[in-house]
Chain A
Amino acid sequence: MQFEFTEEQKALRQEVRSFIKENASPELMEEIKHNTGANGPHYKAWIKKLAEKGWLGAGWPKEYGGLGWGAFEQWIVNDELDYAGVPGAGTGVTMMGPTIMRVASEEMKKEYLPRIISGEVEFVLGYSEPNAGTDLASLKTKAVIDGDDFVINGQKIWNSAAHFGTHEWLAVRTDPDAPKHKGISVIIVPMDSPGITVRPLWTWGDVRTNETFFDDVRVPRKNLVGELNKGWYYITAALDFERVAIGPSGRMRRLLEKLVEYVKETQYQGQVLSKHPVVRQHLAGLANDLKVNRLFSLKCAWMVDQGVIPNKEAQMVKVFSTELRTRLADVGMQIMGLYGQLKTGSKWAPLAGEIEHFYRAAPFLRFGGGTNEVLRDIIARRGLGLPRP
């Protein structure tokens, strides 16, 4: 048993911190704040630098251009990037790349893997539809074979990276007559293909997502990932990767630090907030929760390093961390009282409105990446062996 990182791992953390300090410009931070900046020049330059350092796909096997790093090293890099609020590896690196490595043809691996790890290809997750969210298997976007091509018609929603991504990772129905889980395929669709329309949807958290329409979009048949009608298995396998990736709590750690500074400097009813007993209890409680989150996340990394696939542990960390986000922002705003209402840009907004914004942004991950009801179902059924009805 050992709850400390090795000297090398601690040195890596310092190296990442220095790198961020040197390379994350104020212009980058400004561009990111608005989420629309994801296709901005500073974002692109930053991703390029990360890729040049090798950290973008650090966990990938060396044969595919990665550094072959273990789970803890990747965890450390992700934690520091999250803490600093700078972009890290997207779903292409964490989900699609590993899926391609496992199931795609050699030709597809050669075509996409190097460009994913260099940041050149940025994937857009094309799963959900207006009538297919949690019940994803009921999706209806169709792909029909026509000569050497697929022709795709349909609509996706919550297509969040569609306004800056380069390729859709599209879940489509390729066999309408088969049982619903058995007629789904995954096809890679370049975003510049004719027939694709992207329409913005703005959310309460100020984050942009999109509806994307596919009207007779043609892609070559070689864009099929793996085998026809086997898409459902690729999708579900990739989801476990995604849930482990949602674990790191670096950003929340930073927010708590800022709250601690805030309460030490801010007066309320004649004394600094940090001396009010209720404030002390609340912030200590959040520190506890953050530590639990961190330990759950480290447990997943430890399991991965042992060659064990985290199952109930991945769901647990996702459920716990996503619900903690609301608690943290809620407590923070309450401590700020009247001032807690003020948005970024307002005179008097505490911490530049960051806590208030976090509160509005927080609900998203309770349903994004798999809604927490389903994840609790999985903990119970797969993790504890409780029976189906």
Chain B
Amino acid sequence: MDLGFSEEQEIMRRTAKRFLAQECPTSLVRELLDSETGHSPELWHKMTELGWLGMVFPEEYGGVGGSLLDLAVLSEEFGKALVPGTFYSTVIGALAILNGGTEAQKSHFLPLVSQGKALIPLALTEPSGSYDPAFITTRAQSQGDGWVIDGTKLFVPDAQSADYLVVVARTSDGPPREGVSAFIVPTASPGISIEPLITFAGDRQAEVGLKEVLVEADAILGEPDKVWSAVEKTVQQQTALQLADNVGVGQHVLDSTVEYMKIRFQFERPIGSFQAVWHHCANMATDIDGARYLSYDAIWRLSQGLTATKALSMAKSWGTEAVKRVTIMAHQLHGGIGYVTEHDLHLYSARAKAAEQILGTPAEHLEIVAQQMGL
């Protein structure tokens, strides 16, 4: 039993902290929030130089051969620095290719992603609002050598900046987990429409319309009808990284709140010397530690290839609520100064709340935990 990180992971963490302080200050974060795509090619390029985009891809596909846990360590630092979401959306799409693609697809697309040459988000969710394959209505029909895809994808991350999308579509009827396929679709394909949504946290998501979109035979990820377990694994990996990012968000909010409590004076003393403030901060520290250990237990399990379904849902239900609680208490403790948009706190509160809204809400994850408990 070892609750610490390796020497290499700690070195990577320190490198990430230094890099992000320099290259991703909140001024850039704010600039990108206001920009059209929310994406910074300069930052992107610098991250590829550090090998971060290919962190979890095998070396044979142009990656670094690191583990999911390694990437999670990085993700925690990303959460602290509010790194824009294009990193995650493209790594996740690429993981879908790694998990479900043919050798040719992996050899072609993964190096592109590692080198920062292509953005390939996963287009999974639809107007149903569900991650359950039973509710996928986007369909792909075989036509000649290729496929024709019709349907709507909703809440697709960074579709506006994407070069390709990994589109999950049903190719046959039957039990929900069977008959599902995925296609690597160039966003420039005729028939694709991309309409940005406006999200409260400012991360870019879009509605993607697919009207008779024709793709070639080699666009299908692996084999027809059999991709769901690869997609499911990808969603678990996405969840794991989001958990780590969120721990970073929470840790930053805790640390900066405690610092502010020491320097803000009222009644001729720092407000951090009042017992109520002590107790709020103690509760916040407990919440962050709980989120941290639940999350890393789940991340570690997934990274080791162990079954992680229950652990991920436990972390997602308890951990995201805990970090959210911390952000709201931080607003209470900061008072007016932390509430104005000029202050960074709301950027963290939004990111923490967004983490609760996607990949299943706490209630949905509690239900998964209940099932795993045999109820």
Name A's B-contacting residues (CB within 8 A): 1-6, 9, 72, 260, 263-264, 274-275, 277, 279-281, 283-285, 287-289, 291-292, 295-296, 298-299, 301-302, 312-313, 315-316, 319-320, 373, 375-377, 379-381, 383-389
Most buried by B among A3, A277, A375: A3
B367 within 8 A of A: yes
CB contact under 8 A between A386 and B278, given known A284-B317, A292-B294:
yes
Most buried by A among B3, B277, B282, B286: B282
CB contacts under 8 Å to A, within B247-285, are 258, 261-262, 269-270, 272-275, 277-279, 281-283, 285
What's the minimum C-beta distance from B73 to chain A, rounded to whole angstroms? 9
Task: Please determine whether B285 and A312 come into contact, CB atoms closer than 8 angstroms.
Answer: yes
- Main DSSP-derived SS at the A contact region: helix
8 A/B residue pairs, CB under 8 Å, sorted by A = A284-B370, A295-B290, A296-B293, A302-B3, A376-B279, A384-B258, A387-B262, A389-B269
Bound-state Cα–Cα, A210 to B297, Å: 43
Which of A280, A295, A377, A389 contacts B366 (CB under 8 A)? A280
Question: Could you say which residues of chain A place their CB within 8 Å of the CB of B285?
Answer: 312, 316, 379, 383-384
Residue in A closest to B287 when the chains form the complex, CB atoms: A292
Task: Please determine whether A295 and B297 come into contact, CB atoms closer than 8 angstroms.
Answer: yes
What's the minimum C-beta distance from B322 to chain A, rounded to whole angstroms? 9
CB contact under 8 A between A386 and B272, given known A288-B317, A316-B286, A373-B279:
yes
B296 within 8 A of A: yes
Residue in B closest to A264 when the chains form the complex, CB atoms: B375
Residue in B closest to A288 when the chains form the complex, CB atoms: B318
Name B's A-contacting residues (CB within 8 A): 1-6, 69, 258, 261-262, 269-270, 272-275, 277-279, 281-283, 285-286, 289-290, 293-294, 296-297, 300-301, 314, 317-318, 363, 366-367, 369-370, 373-375
Which of A298, A316, A377, A383 contacts B1 (CB under 8 A)? A298
Bound-state Cα–Cα, A380 to B272, Å: 9
What's the minimum C-beta distance from B289 to chain A, rounded to whole angstroms? 7
Bound-state Cα–Cα, A291 to B297, Å: 10
Question: Could you say which residues of chain A place their CB within 8 Å of the CB of B261?
Answer: 386
Task: Please determine whether A281 and B367 come into contact, CB atoms closer than 8 angstroms.
Answer: yes
Question: Could you say which residues of chain B place their CB within 8 Å of the CB of A288?
Answer: 294, 314, 317-318, 366, 369
Task: Please determine whether A383 and B282 come into contact, CB atoms closer than 8 angstroms.
Answer: yes
- The 9 A-B residue pairs whose C-beta atoms are closest, nearest first, are A380-B278, A280-B370, A284-B369, A295-B293, A379-B282, A376-B282, A284-B366, A288-B318, A292-B290
Residue in A closest to B67 when the chains form the complex, CB atoms: A1
Question: Could you say which residues of chain B place their CB within 8 Å of the CB of A285?
Answer: 317-318, 366
Residue in A closest to B261 when the chains form the complex, CB atoms: A386
Bound-state Cα–Cα, A379 to B6, Å: 27
Question: Could you say which residues of chain B place their CB within 8 Å of the CB of A284?
Answer: 317, 366-367, 369-370, 373, 375
Question: Could you say which residues of chain B place their CB within 8 Å of the CB of A6?
Answer: 1
CB contact under 8 A between A386 and B277, given known A280-B367, A288-B317, A316-B289:
yes
Question: Could you say which residues of chain A place their CB within 8 Å of the CB of B373?
Answer: 260, 283-284, 287
Question: Could you say which residues of chain A place their CB within 8 Å of the CB of B269?
Answer: 387, 389
Residue in A closest to B284 when the chains form the complex, CB atoms: A384
CB contact under 8 A between A299 and B3, given known A280-B366, A283-B375, A284-B373:
yes
Bound-state Cα–Cα, A63 to B290, Å: 38
What's the minimum C-beta distance from B362 to chain A, rounded to whole angstroms? 9
Question: Could you say which residues of chain A place their CB within 8 Å of the CB of B2?
Answer: 1-2, 302
Task: Please determine whether A386 and B318 come into contact, CB atoms closer than 8 angstroms.
Answer: no
Question: Could you say which residues of chain B place their CB within 8 Å of the CB of A313?
Answer: 289
Residue in A closest to B72 when the chains form the complex, CB atoms: A1
Question: Could you say which residues of chain B place their CB within 8 Å of the CB of A375?
Answer: 282
Task: Please determine whether B281 and A384 come into contact, CB atoms closer than 8 angstroms.
Answer: yes
Residue in B closest to A375 when the chains form the complex, CB atoms: B282
What's the minimum C-beta distance from B49 to chain A, rounded to whole angstroms? 27
Which of B5, B272, B293 contacts A292 (CB under 8 A)? B293
Task: Please determine whether B366 and A380 come into contact, CB atoms closer than 8 angstroms.
Answer: no
* With A3-B301, A260-B375, A284-B370 already in contact, 4 other A-B pairs whose C-beta atoms are closer than 8 Å: A281-B366, A299-B293, A312-B285, A386-B272
CB contact under 8 A between A2 and B293, given known A281-B367, A287-B314:
no
Task: Please determine whether B278 and A298 come into contact, CB atoms closer than 8 angstroms.
Answer: no
What's the minimum C-beta distance from A242 to chain B, rounded to whole angstroms? 19
Task: Please determine whether B314 and A3 come into contact, CB atoms closer than 8 angstroms.
Answer: no
Residue in B closest to A289 when the chains form the complex, CB atoms: B318
Bound-state Cα–Cα, A285 to B296, Å: 19
CB contact under 8 A between A387 and B273, given known A284-B317, A376-B279, A379-B285:
yes
What's the minimum C-beta distance from B154 to chain A, rounded to whole angstroms? 26
CB contact under 8 A between A387 and B366, given known A1-B5, A295-B297:
no
CB contact under 8 A between A281 and B297, given known A319-B286, A387-B273:
no
Most buried by B among A9, A315, A386: A386
Task: Please determine whether B293 and A386 come into contact, CB atoms closer than 8 angstroms.
Answer: no
Question: Could you say which residues of chain B place their CB within 8 Å of the CB of A316?
Answer: 282, 285-286, 289
Question: Could you say which residues of chain B place their CB within 8 Å of the CB of A302?
Answer: 1-4
Task: Please determine whether A3 and B273 come into contact, CB atoms closer than 8 angstroms.
Answer: no
Bound-state Cα–Cα, A295 to B1, Å: 11
What's the minimum C-beta distance from B290 to chain A, rounded to whole angstroms? 4
Question: Could you say which residues of chain A place their CB within 8 Å of the CB of B290?
Answer: 292, 295-296, 320
Task: Please determine whether A386 and B294 come into contact, CB atoms closer than 8 angstroms.
Answer: no
Question: Could you say which residues of chain A place their CB within 8 Å of the CB of B262?
Answer: 385-387
What's the minimum C-beta distance from B258 to chain A, rounded to whole angstroms? 5
What's the minimum C-beta distance from B271 to chain A, rounded to whole angstroms? 10
Bound-state Cα–Cα, A384 to B255, Å: 9
Bound-state Cα–Cα, A388 to B278, Å: 10
CB contact under 8 A between A263 and B363, given known A284-B317, A289-B318, A386-B258:
no
